[in-house]
Amino acid sequence: MQNSEGKMTYKEYLLVLKECSPYDFCEYSDNSIDRRIQKIMRDYHLTMDELIHKTRNDEAFVELVVEAITVNTTELFRDPPVWKFIRENVLPAFKNRPKINIWHAGCSTGQEVYSMMILLHEAGIFDKAEVYASDISKKALENAKKGAYKYSFNYSKYQENLNAAFADSVVPKITDFFDVSKESDQLIIKPFLKNKTKFVRHDLVKQDLPFYSKFDIIFCRNVLIYFNGGLQSRIVQCFHDNLFPGGFMVLGTHETLNGFFKTKFAKKGPVYSRTNTFHFKY
């Protein structure tokens, strides 16, 4: 596949990447994938021909490419009004339930996962939660499992987000959940939170789900925006099929449902509830 000047395009490169690895990014959004491949070429000082050659002959480089394509920024309690809504309007429904299953799809470096666990802890339902988190990126998952973040870069922002998420309530402190080391410039999640989650490497696009149960809440924030329309629909259908009736799906603030799925989910504030009057009992 070539452009009008006879040069190879990023779409041809994605086919090469698919042939040389387990990864298939062919249905990612054109603009986002093009920008990221261009950045890879700039960072490694490669032409498209050189990029293709290196991909065909260097397995370690392929992993670097995947990390670059799937990179996602996140922070503790990102978009605080979303977390405030979940705290006030979603979690109370589980107070009298014996169990709550939660999946963070595309969990990146884990701050979203730990945000949710802080909410669960403060709501008094931490012990009854089963929490799973997945991402395609090996490096992101390793960082998520460690739960260690830069103190200097994050402390003030994380506490600010925490304050906003717990507005009109008793606000916990970052130090309730993180060990702070100014000397090593780290915020390290406390073991009782870190050891709660089952982290799994998983390709949301190609692989079957590695879980044996359905979920009450599925998070997939700021992931769908990188997919084209057809792939978005497939992923949302997957979430629908793996949610209990009445379960909740949490997308990014700039991600919405269209067409057919508006009949399968009811929007409640910043979250979506699977439409069905039947509520599963454990």
Q: Where are the domains of the chain?
A: 10-70, 80-148+190-274
Strands (E), the chain: 100-105, 129-135, 148-150, 178-181, 186-189, 197-201, 215-220, 243-251, 265-268, 271-274
Q: Which of 103, 129, 121 shows the shortest CA–CA distance to 215?
A: 103
Q: Which CATH architecture has domain 80-148+190-274?
A: 3-Layer(aba) Sandwich (3.40)
Say what the pLDDT of residue 8 is. 64
The confidence score (pLDDT) of residue 6 equals 39
Q: Which residues of the chain have pLDDT under 70?
A: 1-8, 276-282
Tokens of 180: 């702070």
Report CA-CA distances (Å) from 142 to 9, 146, 153.
32, 6, 20
Tell me: the pLDDT tens digits for 21-50? 877 888 777 777 888 899 999 999 999 999
Token code pair at residue 231: 């792939």
Residues 6+ apart with CB under 8 A from 111: 74, 75, 76, 78, 149
pLDDT tens sequence across 131-167 = 999 999 888 999 999 999 999 889 999 999 999 999 9
Q: Mapping DSSP to helix (H, G, I), strand (E, B) and coil, where does residue 253 land?
A: coil
Q: What is the pLDDT of residue 237?
A: 92
pLDDT at 261: 85
SS3 of residue 31 by DSSP: helix
Residue matched to tokens 């169990």: 99
pLDDT of residue 26: 80
Length of the chain (residues): 282
